Amino acid sequence: MIEVVDIRYCRLGTADLAGAVAFATSMIGLEEVGRAHGAVYLRGDDRDHNIVYFAGDPADQVFGLEVAGFDALDAAARTLEDAGIAVRRGTEAEAAARRVMGFIEFQDPTGNRVDLVVRPFASGRRYFPSRDAGITDFSHIGLKTTDPRRDEKFWSGLFNIRANDRIGEAPLMSFDSVHHRIALFPTDHPGIQHINFQVESIDDIMRSYYFLTERQVVIRFGPGRHPTSGAMFLYYEGPDGMTYEYSSGVRRVDANWRPRQLPFKDESFCMWGSRPNIPEFGGD
């Protein structure tokens, strides 16, 4: 069993690097913390970085999960290889670019690219927001899947990852006490489906709703509240068509939590009555 201890970053290709960085700082509220070899590093919490944009194909997307040490990393490589998954060990230069001490990469059965990293960098300086969005941390991603039952079995069979609730065929999964860290949404291709930042309170959700609306940013869903996690949310469109989410008040679960099955309909995504404009969330 591979023990994931954290979700660390997304590396995202973009057709317009300057535009993506401008959106991330002026709209999302991320802090630019560095530039190297054509990549721009940004963050919404005190860790080294959460998002890396680089000039390239927007379909080129990787997310980084952390394991506890080099022994765990070696064991993870063996576990994946034993399961017939191709594993590649990253070079020192690649590790430096990811700002970690070491990593391996693999793909899930859908073809999503994952870095398993060890000793990712902490940061001495705290997060300094570029606008008052109230972001507290990079918290979860939605991940596209071509076969949700197969992929849930992959993640829960090889990793310490289990579903805490399901909406239709979509499992909301976690490796720690946060209700979900990776949520799988069925579609016909791989990719990151949305990127979540937690904000402090409902006030931040609503302030950003009016802030983004005034600036003609496309709101894709919300303001709303998820009946699954209890989190209040706002989804909006960012660079290269990526969906970003602010949310607040996500449920904590423990070992006694029993996963619930919700039907695949609008009210399973929002208990307030807002309707999604996100293909993977359907729409009645």
Partner 1 sequence: MINVVGFRYARLGTADLDETVRFAQDIIGLEVVGHEDGSVYTRGDDRDHNICYFQGDPRDQTLGLELASFEDLDAAEAELSALGLEVRRGSEEEAAARRCMGFVNFKDPSGNSFDLTVRPFAAGRRYLPSRDAGIDEFSHIGLCVTDPRAAERFWKDTFGFRTSDWIGWSALMTFDAVHHRFALFPSQRPGIQHINFQVKETDDVMRSNYFMQDRQVRIQAGPGRHSLSGARFLYFYGPDDMVYEYSCGVRMVDDEWKARQFPVTDASFCAWGCKPDLSTVLEGSKDAAE
Binding site for partner 1 (CB under 8 A): 202-203, 206-207, 209-211, 214, 223-225, 232, 271-274
Nearer to partner 1, 194 or 225 (CB): 225
Run of H or E residues at 137: strand 135-145
CA pair distance 75, 58, nearest whole angstrom: 32
Residue where the block lists tokens 């398993």: 116
What's the min distance (Å) between Cβ of 205 and partner 1? 9
Nearer to partner 1, 5 or 271 (CB): 271
What's the min distance (Å) between Cβ of 133 and partner 1? 12
Nearer to partner 1, 147 or 266 (CB): 266
What's the min distance (Å) between Cβ of 231 and partner 1? 12
Overall size of the chain counted in residues: 284
Q: Which two tokens stand for residue 208?
A: 């950003």
What's the min distance (Å) between Cβ of 29 and partner 1? 14
Nearer to partner 1, 70 or 210 (CB): 210
Backbone Cα Rg of the chain: 18
Nearer to partner 1, 59 or 202 (CB): 202
Comparing C-alpha atoms, which of 196, 256, 186, 192 is closest to residue 226? 196
Q: What is the 3-state secondary structure (H, E, C) of 211-247?
A: HHHHCCCCEEEEEEECCCCCCEEEEEECHHHCEEEEE
Nearer to partner 1, 195 or 199 (CB): 199
Instruction: Report the 10 Å Cβ neighbour count for 124.
Output: 7
- Return the amino acid letter for 99: R
What's the min distance (Å) between Cβ of 267 and partner 1? 10
What's the min distance (Å) between Cβ of 99 and partner 1? 35
CA pair distance 204, 234, nearest whole angstrom: 10
CA pair distance 98, 238, nearest whole angstrom: 23
